[in-house]
Amino acid sequence: MCLILCAYRSHSLYPLIIAANRDEFYERPSAPAAFWDDEPHILAGRDLLEGGTWLGVTESARIAAITNYRDPLSHRSNAPSRGLMVSDFLRGDEDPEEFIERIRPTAKGYNGFNIIVGDLSHLFYFSNRGDVFQEIEPGIHGLSNHLLDTPWPKVERGRALLAEIISGDANPSAGAVFHILADITRPDDALLPDTGVGLERERILSPLFIKSSGYGTRSSTVVFVDRNNTVRFTERTFEPATGKEETRTFELKSEG
């Protein structure tokens, strides 16, 4: 996952709205969102190489999502899969804060990551870069491949567009949020971060929706959680080779 936008306790009908793009190499095998055969209470896409996921929810409304922290000089090819932390949280019943405290001592063994975990009561953010750990405050937040709310152009644009939707529409649609996630606007070079991948790569990675040879946005996901604890999870997957798109929608009623 390379972009997560989150409206948390900022809308009268939906205490939580999540909009996320998963960017990945096209050749990496993955399965679209579904209830897992081996963990039927988990709804998520799945990385078929390592078995983890990038974003998921459960029938008890546990929610977790992860992004990579872009730091190519420190990347290790033998590090464990970061997506396994997401599935680990979704499988369990630990309090979100307790989960972060458990993984924190071994977090440096992974390549750079940001993880958001929560339930119907709280959301927490943790990064193993700088050991940043905090409860997420109400508001509109953005997370890409640096720390939470780092003002990269794609993060600032995504937050502004999401704020516009939820302030101007009493009942925003998934389609309107998907429109944000499909944005391919590239900012001026002067606004781009320097993460060590070179200017041309920074340009390619700068829009909300990424298209390039071999790498790009593989799926977009929109999650609405309403005040009755109903979770509506919609995923749109993309096949670059064929141009095919598929949209799947699931609804869960959590008892909390």
Percent of the chain at pLDDT > 70 equals 99
| CA–CA separation, 67 and 6 (whole Å) | 13
| CA–CA separation, 199 and 35 (whole Å) | 40
For the cut 90, the answer to whether the pLDDT of residue 120 exceeds it is no
The predicted-structure confidence for 199-248, as pLDDT tens digits, reads as follows 999 999 999 999 999 999 999 999 999 999 999 999 999 998 788 999 99
Q: Where are the domains of the chain?
A: 3-238
Tokens 């799926």, located at residue: 219
Taking residue 188's Cβ as centre, other Cβ atoms within 10 Å add up to 8
For residues 134 and 124, is the Cβ–Cβ distance under 8 A? yes
The CATH superfamily holding the domain 3-238 is: Penicillin V Acylase; Chain A (3.60.60.10)
Percent of the chain at pLDDT > 90 equals 93
Confidence band of 254 (pLDDT split at 50, 70, 90): confident
How large is the average pLDDT for residues 110-129? 96
For the cut 60, the answer to whether the pLDDT of residue 256 exceeds it is no
How large is the average pLDDT for residues 163-184? 93
For the cut 70, the answer to whether the pLDDT of residue 137 exceeds it is yes
The predicted-structure confidence for 14-67, as pLDDT tens digits, reads as follows 999 999 999 999 999 999 999 999 999 999 999 999 999 999 999 999 999 999
Residues in the chain, overall count: 256
The predicted-structure confidence for 229-238, as pLDDT tens digits, reads as follows 999 999 999 9
Confidence band of 168 (pLDDT split at 50, 70, 90): confident
**C-alpha angle with apex 170: 164 to 174, nearest 5 degrees?**
70
Confidence band of 10 (pLDDT split at 50, 70, 90): very high
